[in-house]
Structure 1
Amino acid sequence: MRDNVRKEIKSWGKSLLIALVIVFVIRSFLISPYIVKGASMEPTLHNNEKVIVNKWNFTGRFDRGEIVIIRGKEKNYVKRIIGLPGDKIVIKNDRLYINGVFCKEPYLSENRKLARQMGSRLTGDYGPITVPKNKYFVMGDNRLRSTDSRNGLGLIQKERIVGKGEIVFYPVSDFRSVQ
């Protein structure tokens, strides 16, 4: 009987160890949860929402408009990629130009309306700046309350990007795709 108990414990221990290794691999290399802190991405993402971050990047590059998590020295940041390597960025009269072409940003309409009601612009004039190789220009959607490439984070090295935000999973009532 003791041999049966030992075999059962050994079997359970082995299964538990395999499960822990799988969870570790998934969380370290594939996906992981992230808690949004602050208002810099409102109204797209809200303070204390929980987001699933996709760390798996088949292409090795990121696309304009993607919401990404950026590794900081003391904390992580969530921002939207605006400028890709080689892009020339100019913001003038609250309008974003990438490589001389006006870029519509429909995700800013709510914040832009609020800024106008307060008698200000959502985004101050900035640039021109050319994004170097292997770096990205990022901004928060709440431009009035965002530390980003314009004012503190600087241009983001590719290696600092943890992954891409995919799904808001908490609170459950707000379950949605991030993009």
Structure 2
Amino acid sequence: MKKREETDVAPKKKGALRENIEAIVVAVILALFIRTFVVQAFKIPSGSMKDTLLIGDHILVNKFIYGVKVPFINKTIIPTHDPQRDDIVVFEFPEDPSKDFIKRVIGIPGDVIEIRNKKLFVNGVPVKNSHGIYSDPKIYAAGTQPRDNLGPITVPEHKLFVMGDNRDFSYDSRFWGFVDFIAVKGKAFIIYWSWDKEDFGVRWGRLGHLLE
């Protein structure tokens, strides 16, 4: 008596439409995961960070560097390390959390910040670097507005004091106060695209520029 021959039953092939839909869904989920937890793209709309960042620069922001946060409630579930002085950070604007701002960290918790006639001091030591620029020769006296004369003030726990590099034309912590750690979305680290709207052209020399 002959043994019954075993036969392999080939599984039904997925339809091309279903395969494409599944690939799209996976790609969307992966993109959302990366955007939420790893890296996010932002466009610079103002000149408050000139000359470090120009209007039309497109940057990538590392969202993992300061810890993993739960979306929507901004609760940190995996802390890593806190922002440091000179970091360029993107954060929710304290006066309107629906807007994102980008500035440079000047003071961290415990630092004493003082500005005397546009000269910046942190913990009594004058800050000398090439980031901050001043293009308005006018100096506002203390008591009129805080742009050119401020403090001394101490940065509270879990807060940051931030300023734009375009010091005379930046709306920052001098005017509206401190940034809470929880409002920080990440650290800007590279310019991946730059478009000059006035000259209608690409700023090729800025592409791939690492931010300091």
Same fold (TM over 0.5): yes
- Corresponding position of 1:26: 34
- Corresponding position of 1:142: 166
SS at match of 2:174: coil
- Corresponding position of 1:165: 188
Deviations 1:6-41 (A, max 9, x none): 443333332222221111100111101101111110
Deviations 1:69-110 (A, max 9, x none): 1112242111000000110111113221111122212112xx
Q: What amino acid maps onto 2:181 in structure 1? A: K
Q: How many angstroms apart in 1 are the aligned matches of 2:166 and 2:42?
A: 19
Q: What amino acid maps onto 1:127 in structure 2? A: G
1:104 paired residue among 110, 117, 128? 128
Q: What amino acid maps onto 1:71 in structure 2? A: E
1:120 paired residue among 118, 125, 138? 138
| Superposition RMSD in Å | 1.8
1:16 paired residue among 24, 32, 38? 24
Is 1:178 matched up with 2:198? no
- Corresponding position of 1:55: 63
Aligned residues: 169
Aligned residues with identical type, % of pairs:
32
- Corresponding position of 2:118: 94
Q: What amino acid maps onto 2:90 in structure 1? A: I
Which ranges of 4 or more aligned residues in structure 1 deviate by more than 4 Å? none
Deviation at 1:134, TM superposition (A): 0.2
Deviation at 1:121, TM superposition (A): 4.7
The more displaced of 81-90 and 49-58 is 49-58
SS at match of 2:32: helix
Q: How many angstroms apart in 2 are the aligned matches of 1:126 and 1:13?
A: 57
Q: How many angstroms apart in 2 are the aligned matches of 1:60 and 1:162?
A: 13
- The structure with the greater share of residues assigned to helix is 1
SS at match of 1:18: helix
- Corresponding position of 1:39: 47
Q: If the length of structure 1 is used for normalisation, what is the TM-score?
A: 0.86
Q: What amino acid maps onto 1:120 in structure 2? A: K
List gaps (5 residues or longer) in structure 1.
none
Using CA pairs under 8 Å that are at least 6 residues apart, name the structure with larger relative contact order, 1 or 2: 1
Q: If the length of structure 2 is used for normalisation, what is the TM-score?
A: 0.74
Q: How many angstroms apart in 2 are the aligned matches of 1:142 and 1:161?
A: 20
